[in-house]
Structure 1
Amino acid sequence: MLIAGALALYIAYKFIHRQLVLRKLRIARITADQLKQMMDNGQEMMIVDLRQPLDVQADPYTIPGALRMAMEELEQRHHEIPRDRDVILYCACPNEATAARMALLLKKNGITRVRPLAGGVEAWRQRNYPLEELGVGVA
C-alpha cells in the first residue's frame, strides 16, 4: 500500500510539473497557413530552424529561406536577431517546446515580434507547402 501511495504521489507530481512547464511555455503560435500567407505577400521576416542535428539528418528539408541555428547559438547571438520584422522559430519538439522557450528568451531580450510555428516543419509539410532540401552534411 505504501508503494502504491508513493507511486500515486510521483505520478501526480510529474503531471503537475508538466502542466506548469507547458503553462510557462504558453506563447502565441503562428500557423503554417499564416506563415505561408506572409511569405506569399512578400513580408520580410526571419525564419529559424532550431531542430537538433539528428532531427535534420532524419529529415533534411527546411522551410524555404529558413536559417539553421542551434538553440545554443541563438542564445549567444540573440543580439543579431532583427527587431524590425517578424521572427518565426520552429523545432521538432512536442508542443514546440524549444521554439517556445527560445521565443520567450528573445522576448526577454527585447525582440517582441517572435512566435513559434505551431506544429513545426511537420505542420508545414502536411499542408503540402514547399520545402528546400538541405545540402549533404548540413546539420
Structure 2
Amino acid sequence: MSDLVGEAQASTRCVDLQRLLAWMKTHEPLLLVDVREPDEFCAGHIPGALSIPRGLLEPAADREYAARDPELADARWRRVVLYCDCPTGARAAFAAEVLQRMGFQHVFYLAGGIGMWQAEGLPMELREDASRCYRRRGRLSGDVVG
C-alpha cells in the first residue's frame, strides 16, 4: 500500500496549509473537496468544502455522467484542492491522481489534511445529520465553529 501512496504523491502536487490560506484570501476560483466519508464530513470540515467521498469521485467529476456534480465536473481549469484526514494525505493524493487522469489541470492535495487545519485552530463547519452530508449537487451549509 505504501508503494501506491508514494506513487500517487509523486505524480500529484501537494499544497501546504499556508499556501492554501493565501489562495483562499485572493478569492481566485478555488474548489475545496473533502474526499472523506459523509459521517467524517459531518463531524467537521473546512468551511465551503464540497463533500464528495473518494469512492464517488469519478462519476461526480465526469461531465458525461448524468449524476455528475456540476461544480466539480466543470472545474477542469480551476484550482482544485482535495483533502482527507490522514497525515500522509493518501486518500486525497489518490483522488488528485484520478482527477489529473480525467483532465483536470490544477489539482492539489492538502498536506496534513483536516488534521493540520484543526491543529492551527482554523474554523470548522459541523453538520449533525449525517444522512444529509453528501449531496450529488453542491455544498451543504453548516454551523461554523472555532
TM range (shorter): 0.7 to 0.9
Matched, 1:111 2:104: yes
**Could you list the per-position Cα deviations for residues 63-95 of structure 1 after superposition, in whole angstroms to 9, with x for gaps in the alignment?**
111001111221112131412210010112341
Normalization by structure 1: what TM-score? 0.76
Partner Cα separation in structure 2 for residue 89 and residue 101 of structure 1: 10
Pick the structure with more strand per residue.
2
Of the candidates 53, 65, 70, which is equivalent to residue 48 of structure 2? 65
- What's the CA shift for 1:103? 0.5
What is the percentage of aligned positions where both structures have the same residue?
A: 29
Normalization by structure 2: what TM-score? 0.73
- What's the CA shift for 1:109? 1.0
CA 1:122–1:81 in 2, change beyond 3 Å: closer, same or farther?
Answer: farther
Partner Cα separation in structure 2 for residue 54 and residue 135 of structure 1: 9
**Could you list the per-position Cα deviations for residues 32-57 of structure 1 after superposition, in whole angstroms to 9, with x for gaps in the alignment?**
11111111111211101111234345
- Map 1:46-61 → 2, pairs under 5 A: 46-56=31-41, 60-61=43-44
- What's the CA shift for 1:122? 1.0
Structure 2 spans left out of the alignment, 5+ residues? 63-72, 134-146
CA 1:71–1:81 in 2, change beyond 3 Å: closer, same or farther?
Answer: farther
1:45 corresponding residue in structure 2: 30
Aligned residues: CA RMSD? 1.8
Partner Cα separation in structure 1 for residue 83 and residue 107 of structure 2: 11
Q: 2:115 corresponds to which letter in structure 1?
A: E
Structure 1 or 2, whichever has the larger Rg, is 1
More divergent stretch after superposition (106-115 vs 126-135): 126-135
Matched, 1:129 2:112: no
Pick the structure with more helix per residue.
1
Query: How many residue pairs end up in the alignment?
Result: 120
